């Protein structure tokens, strides 16, 4: 299954919900959401700065990842950015693929 990093920033409403529910309750809700599309959460970390929460997990495909993003955005309590994660072995495979490319200005 593809692995993703979700970077979440809470809106004012989301931060108020976090204050009332607590961190473990939100982690449980996020885990349930990811599991509902056939995935699993590997880890959740809260942080300081512009990103409030980092989640790493796997979901079956891009459509499942998109559905999570859409539901989060539609709820309005948080903004999320989805990053596809690759293993070192996947990067090895990528470097071994033949690609036809012409840089701008050369041609």
Residue 104 pLDDT greater than 90, yes or no: yes
- Inter-axis angle of helices 23-36 and 12-21, to 10 degrees? 110
What pTM did the predictor assign?
0.89
What pLDDT is stored for residue 92 in this prediction? 97
- Structurally, what CATH architecture does the domain formed by 3-96 represent? 2-Layer Sandwich (3.30)
- Pick the range with the lowest mean pLDDT from 27-41, 56-70, 75-89, 93-107: 93-107
Which two structure tokens, joined as six digits, stand for 16? Answer: 């108020």
Closest CA to 57 of 40, 70, 72: 40
Q: What percent of the chain has pLDDT over 70?
A: 100
Residue 68 pLDDT greater than 80, yes or no: yes
Residue 107 pLDDT greater than 90, yes or no: no
């Amino acid at each position: 299954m593809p692995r993703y990093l979700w970077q979440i920033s809470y809106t004012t409403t989301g931060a108020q919900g976090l204050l009332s529910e607590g961190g473990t309750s939100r982690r449980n809700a996020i885990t349930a959401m990811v599991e509902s599309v056939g995935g699993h959460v590997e880890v959740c970390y809260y942080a300081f700065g512009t990103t409030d929460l980092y989640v790493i997990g796997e979901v079956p495909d891009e459509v499942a990842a998109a559905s999570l993003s859409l539901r989060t955005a539609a709820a309005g309590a948080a903004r999320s950015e989805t990053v596809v994660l690759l293993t070192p072995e996947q990067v090895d495979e990528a470097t071994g693929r033949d690609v036809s490319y012409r840089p701008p200005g050369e041609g």
